[in-house]
């Protein structure tokens, strides 16, 4: 099969029906705008299993997405969308870039959750955007942005409650949204420890890609621990 897109963590193939795609996970991890890159056997399988289960969880809570069904250990079937080039970040606690940008102590809670937008552009280094930038660049309309905000906050609420039951604190997350040919806004891409920050509720240890970013332990062991608590392995 010829890929229609070869990304940093996944490859997209044309699906079996019109307007569908196969999302196939790789074993690679990248960080710092792909300055840092490595391969971790089993990572793709774990991210796929976790993503599929989380998209199913959201659907069961009334939030549809591009996800249709799991296809194999490393892939799922999805509705093809036109990706809106925004990284939609929801933060329940401060960590990562926001602690440096605004001088907020790591771990400080945000109540209500904080929503940020970044321009999904590797050449520009994914800069932070205000709403007026989004409209000036023509990335989304006011109605589309409102829809994106509502879905992102709803997904955060469902995921946060779910992970709390697994004794995992959902710290923050990055979502991508896309548009279907009839203009519907759908949550897309993946939901995995590559795109979520997850801390063990007791020890506060990272169970996500920060292990790779900050070189603090074994990434696959942590991803497998998340999958184990989710009942997947």
Ligand X SMILES: Nc1ncnc2c1ncn2[C@@H]1O[C@H](COP(=O)(O)OP(=O)(O)O)[C@@H](O)[C@H]1O
Per CB under 6 A, residues contacting ligand X are 5, 7-10, 12, 21, 23, 66, 78-81, 83, 176, 178, 188-189
Q: How far apart are CA 64 and CA 78, in angstroms?
A: 11
**Which is nearest to 118 in space by CA: 104, 131, 107, 109?**
131
Query: Tokens 């659907």 map to which residue?
Result: 59
> Which lies closer to ligand X via its Cβ, residue 66 or residue 91?
66
* Residue 84 beta carbon to ligand X: minimum distance, rounded to whole angstroms: 9
* Residue 57 beta carbon to ligand X: minimum distance, rounded to whole angstroms: 18
> Which lies closer to ligand X via its Cβ, residue 84 or residue 171?
84
* CA R_g for the chain: 17
> Which lies closer to ligand X via its Cβ, residue 55 or residue 163?
55
> Which lies closer to ligand X via its Cβ, residue 169 or residue 190?
190
Residue 10, both tokens = 């996944």
Query: Tokens 């196939």 map to which residue?
Result: 24
* Residue 103 beta carbon to ligand X: minimum distance, rounded to whole angstroms: 29
Cβ atoms of 225 and 193 closer than 8 Å: no
Q: How far apart are CA 169 and CA 113, in angstroms?
A: 13
* Residue 184 beta carbon to ligand X: minimum distance, rounded to whole angstroms: 12
The residue whose Cβ lies closest to ligand X is: 7
> Which lies closer to ligand X via its Cβ, residue 176 or residue 208?
176
* Residue 21 beta carbon to ligand X: minimum distance, rounded to whole angstroms: 5
Count CA atoms within 13 Å of residue 183 on its CB side: 3
Residues 6+ apart with CB under 8 A from 96: 172, 197, 210
Residue 192, both tokens = 């995995």
């Amino acid at each position: 099969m010829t890929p229609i897109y070869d990304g940093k963590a996944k490859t997209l193939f044309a699906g079996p029906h019109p307007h569908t795609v196969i999302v196939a996970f790789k074993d690679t991890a990248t960080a710092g705008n792909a300055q840092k890159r490595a391969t971790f056997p089993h990572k793709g399988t774990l991210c796929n299993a976790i993503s599929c289960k989380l998209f199913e969880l959201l659907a069961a809570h009334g939030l549809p997405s591009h996800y249709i069904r799991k296809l194999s250990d490393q892939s799922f079937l999805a509705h093809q969308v036109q990706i809106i080039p925004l990284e939609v970040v929801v933060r329940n606690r401060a960590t990562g870039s926001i602690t440096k940008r605004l001088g907020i102590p790591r771990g400080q809670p945000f109540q209500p959750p904080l929503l940020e937008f970044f321009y999904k552009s590797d050449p520009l280094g994914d800069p932070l955007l205000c709403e007026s930038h989004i409209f000036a660049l023509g990335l989304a309309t006011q109605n589309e942005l409102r829809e994106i905000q509502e879905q992102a906050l709803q997904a955060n609420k469902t995921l946060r409650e779910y992970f709390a039951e697994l004794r995992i604190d959902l710290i923050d997350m990055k979502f991508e949204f896309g548009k279907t040919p009839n203009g519907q806004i759908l949550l897309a891409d993946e939901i995995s420890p590559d795109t979520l920050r997850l801390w063990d509720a007791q020890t506060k240890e990272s169970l996500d890609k920060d292990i790779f970013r900050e070189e603090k332990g074994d990434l696959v062991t942590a991803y497998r621990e998340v999958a184990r608590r989710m009942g997947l392995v």
